[in-house]
Each structure stands twice: as structure tokens, then as C-alpha cells.
Amino acid sequence: MLAFHSDQHEPVLPPGHRFPMAKYRLLRERVAAALPRVRLQPSPACDEADLMRVHEAGYVAAVTQGTLDAAHQREIGFPWSASLVERSRRSVGGTVAALRHAVKAGEGVAVNLAGGTHHASRSQGSGFCVFNDVAVAAEVALQAGWARRVAVIDLDVHQGNGTAAIFTGDERVFTLSLHGERNFPFRKVPGCLDVGLPDGCDGPAYLLALDEALQALSQSHRLRAFDLVFYLAGADPHEGDRLGHLRLSAQAMRLRDERVMRLAESWQSPLVMCMAGGYGRDLDAMLAVQLASVGEALSSWQRRRLADLTAPTSADLP
């Protein structure tokens, strides 16, 4: 299985900044050490034409040319720098590259070890998100004819407001978000299916809500099939997260990932996973959750290989 990384383009943040930028490099190192069957590749930079499939040209220009005003930089939460632009472009490029491999190269599953920047809307960034990688990749797939209907399964603890806004009224994309109801963003943008969870929600309650949501998604699939799935595997519903306010154990997080993987497998739809948020008080515990998510994606990739090997091919037929 392929996983794309962009951590060599770490933007320089002011001392004491609350975003744990080192997590991307640490995750790549852990994947390399623990999951040798994952092939790591650097993410290419997304070009401006692809960014402009979902973002307004003026916004893309303001980011790339460094003319974003102070209020917009504050809304994003990172000060502008050339390295931030490069990293943001590669974070999107990683999801687009994972898409290519999952769909075009027939891999079935591929991962971006960054991405999931779901608070970015057409005309602005927000909440540590500059560009919306999943929205860009979904448009690339739809416009290239690689997919006709896309499911975005967003299990980051924060609502996927940017993605919902970008695809409002767009029949080609179903946006599902399970999130903390009282958490950021405080003004949610309705997606196709939003499940707001109370603070303190634990694993069993979460998995029950997830099962219901995935059942609703399956009903929609039966009406019109999803031939591509994006999965935002945010680590921030974990009980050790500083920002999440939910109480899922590492085991519940693993079960969450497995449910999504199995659903996409049952549809025989390619799946692209990106990491989205994760702000663990204990960075090691957060990285273990993310590593387990990559492990679940790898297991899904392997099950799909096995199914391909055992399925009768046209050559076997009389």
C-alpha cells in the first residue's frame, strides 16, 4: 500500500505555537518502522489549476503570493510563510496522488499521512486548514470520470464545514460528518448527514451513532452507488485529545476505522484515507492511534488483494 508524506516541508511556526507540526514526521517514521509493507512516497505539490477546481482564484493567489490579510491568517491559525504555502500544496497533492493510486493504478486503498483539511472553504482557510485536499481530489476524480458519486466520511471530531460548504447542493458528493456538537466550528455548515455528539461521548455510544450513520450512507449507496470513498480518520475523538472532548479508547478508534474500511470493501469502492486532526496531550498515544489507522488501511488493502486473487477472472471461465 502506498502512503504519501509531506513532512519535509514543515512550516516554521512561532515558538510555543499550539499546533504539533512534528507529528507528521513522527508518524512517517513510525509507519516506516512498524509497517514495512507500506511504501512511503513524497507527496507532489498540487498545481494551481487543480486548487482552483474548488477554490476561488483570488484566494489561491492571495495564499501563493503572500497577500493574505492578517484576519485571514488568524482564521487559518498559521502565520503566512513560503514554507506554509509549499506544505499546503503538498498536503493537497498527497491526497490527489493517493486518489490516483487507489483508483487509476487499481490499488484500491491509498493513504495521505497529512491532509483532511476540511475547514477550508472556497474562498478562505480556517482552523489550521489552508486548502481543502479532499474537495480538490473529489473534483479531480469527478471531472476525470474516475468516479461518478463520492462519499466523504469525515470522522474528525470537528465538523467538516468547509467540505460541506463546497459541495452544498452537489448531488455527486455525499458529505457525512460525525463530530462534537459543541466543538469548533461553532457555526456548522450542514452537510448531507451530520451527527453531533455530546461532550464526553464514549466508545460504545460513538460506535452506535457511527453504525446508524453508515447504515444511512448504505441506503443512499443502494439508490445510487458510491464509486469512491474519502475517509478523514481524525485522531481527535480519542480520549487523550486536548481539543476533542470525546472519550474513545484506542480500541474504539480502531473499531471505528475498521467499520469504514469494511463498508468501502463491501461496496468494492476505492478508498483514500487522510489523517486530519490529532492533538493528543500525549503525542505518543496520538501517534499510536494514527499508526493503527494506517494499519487498518493496510489490512483493507491486503483483504482486497486477497479477494482479487481468489475471485474468478475471465481467464478462468470456459
Helical segments of the chain, H only:
23-34, 48-51, 57-65, 70-76, 82-99, 133-144, 161-166, 203-223, 250-267, 283-310
CB closer to Zn ion out of 221 and 238: 238
The secondary structure of the chain in percent helix, strand, coil, rounded to multiples of 5, reads 45, 15, 40
Which residue stretch of 130-138, 231-239, 267-275, 306-314 sits at the interface with Zn ion (rule: CB under 5 A)? 231-239
Three cell numbers written together for 175: 458529505
- Return the axis-axis angle of helices 82-99 and 133-144, rounded to nearest 10°: 40
Residue placing its CB nearer to Zn ion in the complex, 121 or 269: 121
Q: How many Cβ atoms from other residues are within 10 Å of residue 67's Cβ?
A: 11
Distance in Å from the first CA to the final CA of the chain: 33
The residues, any chain, with a CB within 8 Å of residue 187's CB and separated by 6 or more, are 161
Q: How many residues bind Zn ion (CB under 5 A)?
A: 5
Using CB under 5 A, which residues numbered 142 to 181 contact Zn ion?
Answer: 156, 158
Residue number of the CB closest to Zn ion reads: 277
Q: Which of 154, 194, 236, 296 binds Zn ion (CB under 5 A)?
A: 236
Q: Under rule CB under 5 A, which residues in 244-283 are in contact with Zn ion?
A: 277
**Segment contacting Zn ion by CB under 5 A, of 160-168, 204-212, 234-242, 308-316:** 234-242
Nearer to Zn ion, 227 or 236 (CB): 236
Closest CA to 248 of 291, 212, 210: 210
| Smallest distance, Zn ion to C-beta of residue 279, A | 8
User: Which residues from 54-73 bind Zn ion, rule CB under 5 A?
Assistant: none
128 vs 146 by CB, closer to Zn ion: 128
Q: Nearer to Zn ion by C-beta: 89 or 158?
A: 158
- Residue ranges in contact with Zn ion by CB under 5 A: 156, 158, 234, 236, 277
